[in-house]
């Protein structure tokens, strides 16, 4: 284990099978937190054939010396979310960090290239708002009481944001804007409760799907010119760890934060030692 700054803390990463969720879960585990990793994809049975599962994420945490548990959970189903929080309550008696990363935007095989919004299928609303925004709302609904019982904590909503600029794809922009506002509103609800809530925006991440789209992998991405501005999913993970360890994190509650700016503030780098500035459209 590389770090122990979060020793004794309990974290739940919802949507931790791959992408940002996986990077965040692994870094939390390395920092000493007990990590529950939830998602629809389990070993041998992934979502839409995508690479990655909650079991593989947990394997990586344990290989690094951390403690983690794989939890099959479809966060579109409230009863499953509620049962997961109850499991954590029974097993740990507390919850310190909630990473609300459930997202259904990839459920449809549809490119998010900029086109007139009326040419997108209406099903994109269901994928992004039911599988993303609504799932995250339900997660908050059931997890916040346990955070309050703990006496405080941190809720992180991974998002995308660039100084309020339009994100080109209509439904994607609307979903991310809603997530940002949900973090802001929840921060107002919890401002006197010791629970900080932030939306956290990475840059262009080298997720499994991005790497596959460029016919490469994490070991060879530097050979691809188009990926030179990218960052690993561990970069946002290190940002979450820095926030979770910050005793003054309540001062940031309600804000949309950018990973690159937090790296500069807290002094962490990506896995290759680089400081990567905030992504700009």
Residues with active-site annotation: 172
Residue 22 CA to residue 60 CA, distance in Å, equals 9
Residue 263 CA to residue 236 CA, distance in Å, equals 9
Residue where the block lists tokens 């070993």? 43
Backbone angles phi, psi at 274, to 5 degrees: -85, 145
Q: How far apart, in Å, are the Cα atoms of 78 and each of 11, 71, 109, 130? A: 19, 15, 25, 11
SS3 call for 13: strand
The DSSP bridge partners found for residue 21 are none
Q: How far apart, in Å, are the Cα atoms of 262 and each of 46, 183, 258, 279, 281? A: 33, 18, 6, 13, 19
């Amino acid at each position: 284990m590389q770090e122990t700054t979060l020793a004794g803390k309990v974290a739940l990463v919802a949507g931790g099978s791959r992408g940002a969720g996986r990077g965040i879960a692994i870094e939390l585990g390395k920092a000493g937190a007990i990590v529950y990793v939830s998602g629809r994809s389990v070993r041998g049975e992934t979502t839409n054939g995508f690479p990655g599962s909650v079991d593989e994420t947990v394997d990586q945490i344990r290989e690094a010396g951390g403690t983690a548990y794989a939890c099959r959970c479809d966060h579109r189903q409230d009863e499953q979310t509620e049962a997961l929080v109850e499991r954590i309550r029974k097993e740990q008696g507390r919850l310190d960090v909630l990473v609300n990363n459930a997202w259904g935007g990839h459920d449809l095989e549809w490119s998010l290239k900029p086109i007139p919004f009326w040419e997108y299928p209406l099903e994109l609303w269901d994928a992004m708002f039911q599988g993303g925004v609504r799932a995250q709302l339900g997660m908050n609904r059931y997890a916040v009481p346990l955070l309050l019982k703990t006496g405080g904590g941190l809720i992180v909503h991974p998002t995308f944001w660039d100084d309020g600029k339009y994100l080109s794809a209509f439904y994607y922009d609307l979903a991310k804007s809603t997530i940002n506002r949900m973090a802001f509103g929840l921060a107002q609800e919890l401002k006197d409760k010791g629970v900080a809530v932030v939306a956290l925006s990475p840059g262009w991440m080298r997720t499994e799907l991005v790497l596959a789209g460029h016919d490469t992998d994490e070991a060879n991405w530097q050979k691809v010119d188009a990926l030179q501005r990218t960052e690993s999913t561990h970069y946002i993970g290190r940002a979450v760890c820095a926030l979770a360890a910050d005793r003054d994190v309540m001062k940031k509650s309600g804000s949309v934060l950018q990973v690159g700016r937090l790296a500069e503030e807290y002094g962490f780098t990506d896995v290759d030692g680089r400081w990567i500035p905030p992504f700009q459209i």
